[in-house]
Amino acid sequence: MNNLAFASIKELKTKILNKELHTEELLSFFIDRFKKYDPILNSALEIFDKDSILNTFTNTSNGLLYGIPGLIKDNICQKGRNLTCASKILENYQATYDATAITNLKNQGALLIGRANMDEFAMGSSTETSHYKKTANPWNTRCVPGGSSGGSAAAVAAGLVPWALGSETGGSVRQPASLCGIVGLKPTYGLISRYGLVAYASSLDQIGIFTRNIYDNALVLSAIAGTDKNDSSTLNVQNQDYTKQLTGKLKENFTLGIIDNALEANGIEDEVYTLLNEAIKTFEKLGAKIKRIKLPMMDYSAAAYFVISRAEAASNLAKFDGVRYGYRSKNAETLNDMYINTREEGFGFEVKSRILLGNYVLSAGHADEFYRSAKVVQGLIRSEFLKAFEEVDLLFSPVSPTTAFEFGKYNDNLLLMDLQDYFTCSVNLAGIPSLGVPCGLTKDQMPVGFQLIGPDLSEHNIYQAAYAYEKETQKDDSENKFVPTNFK
């Protein structure tokens, strides 16, 4: 049975449909994996009991994810389940409805096994800001898994589930995917409904997908993408099969643009740089035409992202005040004291610091100087990307300049922690899709990944190119190298 831990969704579905494996048997297997390994990883805030999972199971054998368990980041509403965003202020709060993505998953027969740990309100790049626990990286448990969707990434990488949902505001799917050696999608803004995703920065947030291979990622996207009347920001896109162009070959006359000012940026570790260049050579071997380009506005993306995300966070988190949701301070004599003390006691340091900065950049006399200026830069970044796509099909960039770092490394340098989003946040500002893909291990057996970036709604093309790369690099790999030794 242990070979099921790192089996693909496709393989597991085949076993279920051929009656070699029962859905309840598979569910029990993964629940037992969590019981055995999650005390080491702390990837989940809660694993639901088996009966309650099966009570929400849509027993339809033609569902895309029929009988396949997955883990959900704890900022996505699951009706009747706790929804904490890894924050004290939402401790014991229960969601009153399902997010649209959750409804779609249930309709496709998925088994939702639990709630993934995360940085508090998705604010962080290491899953160290969670109020409840710190998640470890399966490749080295002294290191972080990345963030803010670190729990989802760690669980998939360790074979505790074959897929998981996360969310992205500035890189919170692609960065932990890269640090954990798995695949992570940030889709086109509006492709997956945000209804039921607790907002951090509404103009940037998107639900994202973690899997261990490209096909599975495309399959999960096929299950949850599409327009939604409950979310006016969703695009008018009908349900599609994102696996249909996975041929193992690049499309004809494929041109890959290498973002030189990203690949040659200061701070990229030597082994990371080497593996990224080996990936580029693989695309050349597959027949890609390589074009080197520069995107100067990318260098302003981190500053624009900091301002926009914090301004929108201050606005979105104003509703958590002790009146309607979760935690309420008992140390208050007046209503105003209750508001102040609840937020002081209920939010962690990172969340409070971002709210304070957000309120400052939105304040009278500063909104034009900061927030509106950042929105102008956001528009210029998007324009620069779209212009680049007139010359190339997709863009290639690092995800992270380093492999996973040890816990506490940036405690005394919070700016360097914020800059973990340096290579990723421009994509969120532009609203375009990007896929994080693993490309090798360092000598210390730590994963490295790159990202493929495309224009709006180019997920088909991104998956096609990534799948061709995956097939080429794994064809001689009899044993999947992206399996952490201690979790086999």
Q: Is the peptide bond before 148 cis (omega within 30 degrees of 0)?
A: yes
Catalytic option among 73, 87, 397, 458:
73
Catalytic option among 43, 87, 126, 148:
148
Q: Using an 8 Å Cβ cutoff, are 150 and 74 in contact?
A: no
b/e map of 20-39 (b: 16 or more CB within 10 Å)?
ebebeebbebbbebbeebbe
Residue 148 a catalytic site member: yes
Q: Using an 8 Å Cβ cutoff, are 24 and 58 in contact?
A: no
Q: Using an 8 Å Cβ cutoff, are 252 and 287 in contact?
A: no
Nearest Cα neighbor of 321 from 332, 311, 310, 312 is 332
Give CA–CA dist 147/185, Å, rounded: 14
Q: Using an 8 Å Cβ cutoff, are 81 and 95 in contact?
A: yes
Q: Using an 8 Å Cβ cutoff, are 151 and 127 in contact?
A: yes
Give CA–CA dist 394/391, Å, rounded: 9
Helix/strand number for the chain, H first, E second: 16, 11
Report residue 2 as tokens: 């242990």
Catalytic option among 8, 87, 172, 458:
172
Give CA–CA dist 434/456, Å, rounded: 10
Residue 73 a catalytic site member: yes
Nearest Cα neighbor of 152 from 352, 458, 130 is 130
Give residue for tokens 């973002």. Answer: 259
Give CA–CA dist 320/326, Å, rounded: 8
Which spans in 42-168 are helix H? 50-55, 100-107, 150-157
Which spans in 127-240 are helix H? 150-157, 174-180, 214-224
Residue 172 a catalytic site member: yes
User: Is the torsion defined by CA of 234, 237, 238, 242 positive or negative?
Assistant: negative
| Residue numbers annotated as active site | 73, 148, 172
